Amino acid sequence: MRRRLPIHFAMQAAVVFGAMLAESHAAEPRLRGMWIEPAAIAMVAKDPSTQTLERCTRESIQTMKSLGVTTLILAYAEYNGTFFYPSEIEFYDQDIQRNVQGSDCPFDVYGVVLDEADRLGMQVFLGLGRGGDTKLLWEFDKSDWKQRNEAAIEVGTRVARELDKTFGRHPSFAGWYLTHEMNDLSRASAYYDPLAEFCHSLAPRRPVLAAPSGTPVVTKELLAKSKVDIFAYQDAVGAGYVPYKYTYKPEERMATLDEIYSRYARWHVDSGKRFWSDLEIWEMDGKQGYSAAYPATFERVKRQIEIEAKHVEMLTGYAWHGYMQSPNASAEKPIPKARELFEAYRKFAATAATTHKQL
């Protein structure tokens, strides 16, 4: 499982679906989508005040827009006992072994992101969260899995219903993200399909997105049957992931990246599903295990872009806060490596956009 809060801090509308279909061509060689980890905003902000958190959030979205980002993906509505929008939901979180309450929301990340995206003409996918059971789609053989899955679907539907009620008026609310990451689609569909169908029942024109892990067990037939609309495959470069092992050597993964995405592309031919990339702009050295991520070098990120853009419909970068930072970010603590990556990528993106228009 890949998702981690950033960084060197050592912690672990409605848009018409036809607009998505218009992307069914080779990707622009730049990051058109960007992931936001809501908890990371407070980690990079200069102070925990609501005013600073809001300024940090809005400034970062404005900067993403200036780089050509059109799509934002909020990774989770709740995580580790904290909600990132004001909620009336309460449930038992198995991961931290206590009840969590949506009313304990320190800052409405979702509301601010959607408001700024409305203003800038961007689209946003809202992550549902993991419902306090992070390992759900990796522990199918546990005796209590069926009960856990039922509980996770119940929490997920409550969150989706509340998000639709609370934020459905926002024109930038474009779709849903199922935060749980899968390896084996044939088994994960027992969770994905009911939740995706429920999201579709709330808003048929909002597609559902999932981000498979670095070793997805998928076939064209499974894709065609899935109720998920968009698959953004994690490139798994950050920790140098090779089948079921973290090498912490990104080049180990880079060596097979072209072949991997070629295979994914073959699965998607005539499947009816959108094919995106979830491109990791961070890395880890393994000295603290799967933790303590830091911004990657631009040279490495550029190679990822060049490889993956040949195969997918859209490149999305994982993730912004802690890994990219404008030197003009007034509400954030300076992160030198994130600023280096930002500056190098900014120059590259400008050239890539001009070249793509000429083709």
| Number of domains into which the chain is organized | 1
Residue 165 counted as domain residue: yes
My answer on whether omega of the bond before 203 falls inside 30° of 0, hence cis, is no
Asked if residue 8 is part of any domain, the answer here is no
Are 215 and 243 in contact by the 8 Å Cβ rule? The answer is: yes
Gap between the Cα atoms of 223 and 38, Å rounded:
29
Q: DSSP code of 30?
A: S
> 3-class SS at 177?
strand
**Residue 26 pLDDT:** 73
Mean pLDDT by 10 residues, the chain (359 residues): 47 40 67 98 98 98 98 98 97 96 95 98 98 97 98 98 98 98 97 98 97 97 98 98 97 98 97 98 96 98 98 98 98 98 97 66
- Residue in 356, 351, 267 with CA at minimum distance from that of residue 309: 356
Question: Is 1 within a domain?
Answer: no
Find tokens 């600073």 and name the residue.
52
Amino acid 27: pLDDT: 86
Sign of the Cα torsion 355, 356, 358, 359 reads positive
Please tell me the number of Cα atoms within 13 Å of 204 on its side-chain side. 0
How far apart are alpha carbons 44 and 60 in whole angstroms? 11
Looking at residue 352, its pLDDT comes to: 80
Residue 147 CB neighbours (<10 A): 10
User: Is 3 a member of any domain?
Assistant: no
Query: For the chain, what is the radius of gyration of the CA atoms?
Result: 19
Let me know if residue 101 belongs to a domain.
yes
For residues 61 and 324, is the Cβ–Cβ distance under 8 A?
no
Q: Examine residue 12 and state whether it is found in any structural domain, yes or no.
A: no
Task: Decide: 214 and 241 in contact? Cβ < 8 Å.
Answer: yes
Q: Residue 32 belongs to what domain range? A: 17-358
Which of 110, 101, 136 shows the shortest CA–CA distance to 36?
Answer: 110
Give the list of residues 6+ apart from residue 185 with CB closer than 8 angstroms, or none.
192, 212, 216, 217, 218, 222, 223, 226
DSSP label of 283: E
Contact criterion met (CB below 8 Å) for 50 and 85:
no
Q: How far from the centroid of its chain's Cα atoms is residue 63's Cα? A: 18
User: Is residue 339 a part of any domain in this protein?
Assistant: yes
CATH number of domain containing 212: 3.20.20.80
In a domain, 55, yes or no: yes
